[in-house]
Amino acid sequence: MNESESVSVEKGLAYRICYGFLGTVIFIFLWTLIGYLIFTKPEYKQFSGLLPLPTIKAFYSLIFDNDFWSSVYASLRRVTVGISIAFVMGLPLGLLIGFYKKLELITYTPVQFVRMISPVSWMPVALLVFRSFESAIYFLIAISTVWPIILNTTHGVSRVNPQWINMARNQGAKNYQLLLKIIVPSSVPYILTSLRLALGVAWIVLVPAEFLGVSSGLGYIINDARDTMEYDRLMAIIIAIGIVGFILDGSIQLIQKSFPFKRTWN
């Protein structure tokens, strides 16, 4: 990267930071304005803990709360395990579906049908099939995140330059060599995108999934704060979920930008 490109990148980063800060200020202003208009009314005064100032105080207390960090760890573990299961299942399926056109035609209708079923609707099935609540949560996260992995991987395979495949076939390459040497390296950007999408879905499904009966996790402590009517703590946990999710999403974006995508076949 030369000097002019470096300056351009720094300016772009400065713009993103400035506009990001402006967006945050606008968000807090609207939160304060709408909250003041609603929660200062006598009939809603019991919910005044949802206002920014009580929420910030409760959030500060969360930082020093060991139960909160234990719940963050429990939720991150569940998301990691669930997405890992989905990735192990979805990646090879996506590669095969994208590589074999007849298989894509066969699986199109079932995949599109099942992926449109709300993950939350699988809760009764999960409770009946799995012996523990923990396993049921893994299932719910996996069943909700496997589809973006399959579909984006399939799309990545379909975007591979067919001339590369024809050239490799002319040189005597087998199907498994095409997959390992051409298809997978070329599909890496789409695979990373699928993981980012899967993370977003998993983070949404996580909270209702943790209502099942576990005694830890961000969903559990939100439910507990609601039951005890600690609305400032409830809102602080919601903000914390957003922050953790934002950090996770940003981490995948950094990996996407820094991944050395190169063609690895001769």
The contacts of residue 253 (CB under 8 Å, 6+ apart) are 196
- Which pLDDT does position 265 carry in this prediction? 39
- Which pLDDT does position 262 carry in this prediction? 46
197-235 pLDDT, tens per residue?
A: 999 999 999 988 888 778 888 989 998 888 888 889 999
Please state, in angstroms and rounded to a whole number, the distance separating the CA atoms of residues 26 and 59.
Answer: 20
Please state, in angstroms and rounded to a whole number, the distance separating the CA atoms of residues 186 and 159.
Answer: 8
**pLDDT at 10 exceeding the cut of 70:** no
For the chain, what is the mean pLDDT? 85
* Burial class of 38 by CB neighbour count within 10 A (0 to 12, 13 to 18, 19+): middle
Give the predicted TM-score (pTM) of the model: 0.83
Tokens of 240: 């914390």
